[in-house]
Chains A and B, each alone.
Chain A
Amino acid sequence: MLRGIIVCAWAFATLASAAWAQDWPTESNADFDALLEAARAEGEIVIMGQPSLSEKFAAAFEADTGIKASFIPRGRGAERQRFYREVEADRLTIDVFLSGPTPFSLVEKDQLAPVRDMLLLRDLLAPEAWRGSALKWVDDAERYLPMPSIYAAGGILINTDIIDPASITSWDDLLAERMLDQVVMHNPARPGAGETLAMYLIDVKGEDFVRELLGNDRITLTSDYRQVVDLVARGTNPIALGALLANIQHYEDRGVDNLEIFWTNDVPGYVLGGGAVLAVPAGAPHPKAAAVFANWFLSQNGQEALALTQALPTDREDVDADLWPEYSDPRNRPELLNLYSQSWFFGTRLENRALLEGILAE
Chain B
Amino acid sequence: MPETVTQTWLNGRRVAAIGPVVLLSLVGLLALLPVAVILPMSFGLVGGGATNTLSADGYGTVFSESDFSRSLTLTTALAVRVPLGVVVGAWIAWLIVRVRVVGSRIYEFTLWFIFFLPNAPLLAGWILFLDSDYGLLNVAARGLGLNPLTDIYSVGGILWFQMVTNTTPIAALLLIPAMRTIDRVSDEAARVAGASPFRIWRSVIMPAVAPTAIVAGVAGLTRAMESFEAEQILGTPKDLIVLPSLIYEYVLDETPLITEAAAVSMFFIALMIVLTVAHAWLRRGQRQIALRSDQSVDPTDAYGARYRMAAGIGLGVLFFIGAGIPIGMLIVGSFMKVFGFWFIDMPFSTANWAEVLTGRNLSNALVTTIALGLAVAIAASLLFLAVAVMLRSGGPVLRTVVSGLIWLPWAIPGIILGLAVLELSLSAPVAWLVYGSLGPLIFAMLVRDMPLAVHLFSASLGQIDPDADAAARLAGAGPLRRFFRVTAPMIAPTIVVVFLLAFSSATKDVSSLILLAPPDAMTLPILTFQYLSTGAFESAAVVGVIAAFIALVMTMLALRVMRALDPSA
Contact = CB atoms under 8 A, between A and B. Distances in A.
Of A54, A189, A221, most buried by chain B (CB within 10 Å of CB) is A54
A81 B358 contact: no
Interface in A32-81: 46, 50-52, 54-55, 59, 70-73, 75-79, 81
A72 B519 contact: yes
Interface stretch (A202-210, A249-257, A315-323, A335-343): A249-257
A328 interface: no
Given A73-B530, A89-B427, A91-B435, A78 B515 contact: yes
Given A76-B533, A91-B426, A256 B237 contact: no
A15 B358 contact: yes
Interface string B234-252: 0011110000000011011
A226 interface: yes
A187 B422 CA distance: 30
A111 to B, nearest CB: 13
A230 B415 CA distance: 29
A357 interface: no
A326 interface: no
Nearest to A237: B133
Task: Categorize the interface residue count of chain A.
Answer: 35 or more
Contact of A236 (B133, B248, B423): B133
Nearest to B432: A91
Interface in B503-543: 514-515, 517-520, 522, 529-531, 533-537
B338 interface: yes
A251 B427 CA distance: 44
Nearest to B67: A189
Contact of B535 (A54, A79, A226): A226
A75 B533 contact: yes
Contacts of B340: 230
Given A190-B249, A230-B133, A254-B337, A223 B359 contact: no
Interface string A224-240: 11110111011010000
A93 B436 contact: yes
Contacts of A84: 48, 256
A127 interface: no
A55 B361 contact: yes
B341 interface: yes
B294 interface: no
A222 interface: yes
Contact of B435 (A88, A93, A187): A93
A227 B239 CA distance: 13
B254 interface: yes
Contacts of A250: 535-536
Contacts of A189: 239
A223 B236 contact: yes
Given A51-B534, A55-B361, A75-B534, A93 B519 contact: yes
B48 A77 contact: no
B443 interface: no
A81 B133 CA distance: 35
Contacts of A352: none
Contacts of B306: none
B261 to A, nearest CB: 9
A160 interface: no
Contact of A81 (B256, B345, B530, B537): B256
A91 B435 CA distance: 9
A79 B514 contact: yes
B430 interface: no
A264 interface: no
B344 interface: yes
B3 interface: no
| Most chain A beta-carbon neighbours within 10 Å: one of B249, B358, B427, B530 | B530
Nearest to B47: A85
Contacts of A79: 514-515
B251 A78 contact: yes
B134 interface: yes
Contact of A75 (B415, B425, B520, B530): B530
B134 A234 contact: yes
Nearest to A257: B344
B360 interface: yes
Contacts, number: 120
A72 B531 CA distance: 14
Contacts of A88: 48
Given A85-B422, A222-B238, A223-B236, A78 B535 contact: no
A71 B247 CA distance: 26
A81 B419 CA distance: 9
A190 B530 CA distance: 19
A223 B459 CA distance: 45
A191 B337 contact: no
Contacts of B358: 15
A71 B522 CA distance: 9
Q: Which of B415, B514, B535 has the most chain A CB atoms closer than 10 A to its own CB?
A: B535
Interface string A251-274: 100111000000000000000000
Interface in B207-254: 236-239, 248-249, 251-254
Contacts of A224: 236-237, 535
Nearest to A58: B360
Contacts of A46: 519
A231 B134 CA distance: 10
Given A52-B534, A72-B517, A73-B522, A191 B48 contact: no
B530 A255 contact: no
Which of B47, B48, B537 has the most chain A CB atoms inside 10 A of its CB? B48
A221 B427 CA distance: 41
A76 B520 CA distance: 18
Interface in A73-130: 73, 75-79, 81-82, 84-86, 88-89, 91, 93, 102
Nearest to B529: A75
A75 B232 CA distance: 14
Contacts of B253: 191
A189 B238 CA distance: 12
B533 A102 contact: no
A255 B522 contact: no
A226 B40 CA distance: 38
Nearest to B358: A15
A226 B537 contact: yes
A53 to B, nearest CB: 11
A89 B337 CA distance: 44
Contact of A86 (B415, B426, B522): B426
B240 to A, nearest CB: 10
Interface in A167-200: 187, 189-191
B218 to A, nearest CB: 29
A325 to B, nearest CB: 17
Given A15-B358, A72-B517, A189-B239, A85 B252 contact: no
Interface string B40-63: 000000011000000000000000
A54 B361 contact: yes
Contacts of A251: 338
Given A55-B359, A81-B256, A256 B517 contact: no
Contacts of A231: 133
Contacts of B517: 72
Contacts of B338: 233, 251, 254-256
Contacts of B534: 50-52, 75-76, 225, 246
30 contacts: A15-B358, A46-B519, A73-B522, A75-B530, A75-B534, A77-B248, A77-B252, A77-B514, A77-B533, A78-B415, A78-B515, A81-B256, A82-B422, A85-B47, A91-B427, A91-B435, A93-B518, A93-B519, A187-B239, A191-B252, A191-B254, A222-B237, A225-B535, A230-B134, A233-B338, A234-B133, A236-B133, A246-B535, A250-B536, A255-B346
Q: Which 8 A-B pairs have the closest CB atoms?
A: A226-B535, A70-B519, A89-B426, A78-B251, A224-B237, A70-B520, A222-B237, A93-B436
